[in-house]
Amino acid sequence: MSSPVRRVAMLSAHTSPLEQPGDGDAGGMNVYVLELARRLAARSVEVEIFTRATSSSQPPIVEALPGVLVRHVAAGPFENLDKHALPSQMCTFVRDVLRVEASHPAGWFDAVHSHYWLSGQVGMVARDRWGVPLVHSMHTMAKVKNAYLAAGDCAEPVGRVAGEQQLVECSDRLIANTQDEARQLVELYGAGADQVEVVHPGVDLDRFRPRPRPEARRELGLDDDADVILFAGRIQPLKAPDVVLEAAARMIHGGRRDRTVVAVVGGPSGSGLERPTALVELAARLGIADRVRFVPPVAQDQLALWYAAASLVCVPSYNESFGLVAIEAQACGTPVVAARVGGLTTAVHDGLSGLLVDGHDPSDYADAFVRVLDEPGLHPSMSSAAVRHASRFGWEVTAERTLEVYADASHRLYALPQAVGQ
C-alpha cells in the first residue's frame, strides 16, 4: 500500500534553521533543513520544524516560509546550555513534540525526518507513538569525527556513539550525503545496504551564482588586483582555519605580501569557543595581521558576495559530511582548495573545479594556492568548471530525491505487518 506524504515533522533539536549560519552551532545543517523544507513546501508538503528554544523572547511558532512552521520548544534553560548537556533535555523536548501531534486529528504527520543524533532520539519515540516512518540524516557521525580529530578537539562521548547505533537499528531509512558516508554507515554502524539512500545536499543556484569579481570587490572594499583567499564557516579546530592562515603566511613572507589578502568570515563555535580570539592571536604571531580581515557571520546574500569576490576558497576541514561551503563557492565561479576528506571528495571535482590536498600541512596548501593563482589558464578554467560542477547540486533535486526516500520508508513500514503475517 502507499501512503502519500502530506505533512512532515522535521526535527532539528540542537540548532534552529532560523539561526545565522557560521556562528555557534549553526552551520551547513541549518541551511540544509531550511532549504529542504522550502522545496518540500513548494511541492505541497507541509513541514513543521521542531527546534529547542534558546531565548524567552522567541515566539512559540514562526511561519518561516509559506507551508513551513518552526516550533520553538522550551526544553532546559534558554541560554548558555552546552551542546553536551542537551541529551538530558530530550525527554522534555519529545514530550512537547508529542503534545503538538496530539492536538491535531489522528494521523496528522505522515513521516518524521530527524537531523543529527539528538533529534534522532526524539524521532525514535515519535515514530513508535505515531506509527509513521522515521527517516534520519546523521550529518556528522561520532565514529568518523573521533577518527579524524583535530589538535585541541575533544572526542565525541560514548553516549553519542550508542545513540547513533540505536538510530541505525531503528530508522526506516538513513539519508547519507555521499557514497562515502553511506559506506561509513554500513561499515562502522552495521546499517543495511538497502536501508541507506544517498541524497546530495543542494545549493541555492539563484542566490549563489557568478557575478563580476571587480563589482563584488568594490562592494566589500577589496582591491581589484589582490589575491583574496577566503575561509568561510565556523571557527573551530575541526574546520582548520589555522591551516589557512599558516599557508597564507608562507605566501606572504615569500614575497607576496602586497597582493595577498586573507578573509575569514565566521564566528567561534564548538571547542573554538574556549579560545574565541585564538585565530586573531595566530595571525599576529605569524606576522600577517595586516593582511587578514576578520568578518563576523553574514547573511546568505552577503556570503555569496564574498564568494564572488574571492580568488579562491579554502576548506581544509579534518572531516566534512559534504561541504556546503565548497559547493556554494563553486556555484559563484570560485575555485576551491579543500582537504581530501569525507564529502569534500564529492563536493570538489579534483583538478577541474578545484584542488584536493592530502593531509593538513600548511606548505601543501600554500603550494595549491599558488598553483591555482599562478598557473597559466588554470584559474579561468577552474572557474568555469566550478559553475558547471555546482549546477548538478540544486535543491530541487535534493527535495525530489528526499520525497522518494519518504515514500520508500512508508512502503517499508507498512509492509512489515503483512510480511510478519505471512
* Residue 281 annotated as binding site: no
145 carries a ligand binding annotation: no
Q: Is 80 within any annotated ligand binding site?
A: no
> Which whole-number Å values give the CA distances from 68 to 89, 105, 152, in the listed order?
25, 19, 39
Q: Say if residue 398 carries a ligand binding annotation.
A: no
**Cβ–Cβ under 8 Å, residues 323 and 353:** no
Average the pLDDT over 237-249 and give the result.
96
pLDDT, residue 1, reads 38
Determine the residue type at 49: I
Residue 228 has pLDDT above 70, yes or no: yes
Task: Establish whether 184 is an annotated binding residue.
Answer: no
- pLDDT tens by residue, 129-161: 999 999 999 999 999 999 988 877 889 999 999
pLDDT at residue number 421: 41
Which of the four pLDDT bands, split at 50, 70 and 90, describes residue 4? confident
pLDDT above 50 (res 177):
yes
What are the backbone angles phi and psi of residue 265, rounded to the nearest 5°? Answer: -110, 110
> Could you tell me if residue 342 is left (phi over 0), alpha (psi between -120 and 50 degrees) or otherwise beta?
left
26 annotated to bind ligand: yes
160 is in an annotated binding site: yes
Q: Is 25 annotated as a binding residue?
A: yes
Q: pLDDT digit string (tens) for 64-121?
A: 999 999 999 887 666 665 666 676 678 888 999 999 999 999 899 999 999 999 999 9
Helices (H), ranges, 114-157: 116-130, 142-147
With a cut of 70, say whether residue 23 has pLDDT above it. no
Domains and CATH numbers, the chain: 7-202+395-411 (3.40.50.2000), 213-391 (3.40.50.2000)
